[in-house]
Amino acid sequence: MRSIPDSIVRLIEEFSRFPGIGRKTAQRMAFHVLKSPNDQAVQLAQSVMDMKTKIQFCSVCHGITEDDPCGICTDPKRDASSICIVEDAADVYTFEKSNAFQGVYHVLGGVLSPLDGIGPDDLHINGLIDRAKPGTEVVIATNPSIEGEATSLYIAKLLKGKSVKVTRLARGLPMGGDLEYIDDATIMRAMEGRTAI
Amino acid sequence: MRSIPDSIVRLIEEFSRFPGIGRKTAQRMAFHVLKSPNDQAVQLAQSVMDMKTKIQFCSVCHGITEDDPCGICTDPKRDASSICIVEDAADVYTFEKSNAFQGVYHVLGGVLSPLDGIGPDDLHINGLIDRAKPGTEVVIATNPSIEGEATSLYIAKLLKGKSVKVTRLARGLPMGGDLEYIDDATIMRAMEGRTAI
């Protein structure tokens, strides 16, 4: 049995590291690079390096940016008295895309997860406490997972007594969903959180 | 709405070009690169460039190799009188992995597809005719698709009268499959090709 040339195997291994990319997909990707014109491969390699060089973390919100502080933190039109707390830098763009929030963000950089050895000191929590001046609204937007909920409760507790309004995203039926296919936990939250119409 | 920094958008676009990678997966991949240590990103970029520089096409079989002619074509233990015709260079490694074939290969570099403007001159067919000396067995292993079948018939016709034995891979039930879930076309081929036990 003759095996795939080393340089391709190395690229397959690099691609396999990505989340959600298995060995087979990685192999297809590597062969795709092989077949595509040389300048496309150069561009791919260049884009990877370029991004790593240009992108830094905002010293205020810990989001990603090409200039520090980031465009959101320095935008005078954003409401600095409303801070949305998210787990990851990518989450910021989920809100920005929906245009649902006009305040500023604070990226935790993860969630509390004792099993993985991630405690409060591993997250950007201290900076948040400093930013949450009295009168601020803090919207906790961690993921609706066990760790996300625990992190949100932890932060709410820290902010208690600081005259900060702490809220979190509503739980309920996703738009376009079908009652028949929605899990019990979501149905329960939707019922608990029912609103008058 | 604030959008994702340019250098990340460019990387997302590069990743979106891969087959089977949608915009959302590409975005996850880009953010993964962002979060991973710098030297891993360097390694990824390096592997892409490295592969493009080192890999070339074998002048005999048109497979991929780091040295021309490739290790399979120059291996004296391989049976040069048996040539397996495949569409893509990646297909060679599917056979090599299974250890099912001890002959040599010939990579077409695609299949006939008039709708996409791919004719016989776009494939490595002429070289194949030269390689198929009298007494050779040519195993056609194009994909079991419409284009693959058409290409296999075209090649079989070309080789007619050259005292070359032309065969193709058996069609039938995939191992581990379940009759209930197998499509009609496959069932039909399996019935037509039934063998004595």
Residue A50: left (phi > 0), alpha (psi -120 to 50), or beta?
alpha
What is the per-residue pLDDT for B185? 86
Task: Say if residues B43 and A64 touch (Cβ distance below 8 Å).
Answer: no
With contact defined as beta carbons under 8 Å apart, do A83 and A141 qualify?
Answer: no
The average pLDDT across A33-43 equals 91
- Residue B2 reports pLDDT greater than 80: no
Q: Which of B13, B47, B67 to mutate to test the interface with A (most CBs of A within 10 A)?
A: B47
Residue of A nearest to B12 (CA): A47
Q: Does residue A26 have a pLDDT over 90?
A: yes
Q: Nearest CB to B34: which of A3, A38, A55? A: A55
ipTM of this predicted structure: 0.80
Two tokens at A29? 């990707």
**Contact assignment for B14 to A47 by CB distance below 8 Å:** yes
pLDDT single digits (tens) B104-163: 999 999 999 989 999 999 999 988 988 999 999 999 999 988 999 999 999 999 998 888
CB contact under 8 A, B5 and A34: no
Chain B residue nearest residue A55, CA to CA: B7
Q: Pick A71's closest partner by Cβ from B2, B25, B42.
A: B2
* Residue A104 · residue A80 · CB < 8 Å: yes
User: Are B8 and A72 an interchain contact pair (Cβ–Cβ within 8 Å)?
Assistant: no
CB B155 within 8 A of CB B126: no
**Residue that has been written with the tokens 């970029």 in this structure:** B45
CA distances from residue A27 to A43, A92, A105, B44 in whole angstroms, order as listed: 20, 32, 38, 14
List chain A residues with CB under 8 Å of B39.
none
The 10s digit of each residue's pLDDT in B166-176 is: 998 988 888 88
Strands (E) across chain B are located at 56-57, 64-65, 79-86, 103-107, 137-140, 165-168
Residue of A nearest to B51 (CA): A7
Residues 6+ apart with CB under 8 A from B176: none
> Which residues from chain A sit within 8 angstroms of residue B64, using beta carbons?
5, 8, 34
Interatomic CA distance for residues A30 and A51, integer angstroms: 21
- Please report the domains of chain A, with CATH numbers, ordered by start residue: 6-54 (1.10.8.420), 77-168 (3.40.1360.10)
Residue A111: is its pLDDT beyond 90? yes
Contacts of B34 in chain A (CB under 8 A): 51-52, 55, 64, 89
Contact indicator for B107, B62 with CB cutoff of 8 Å: yes
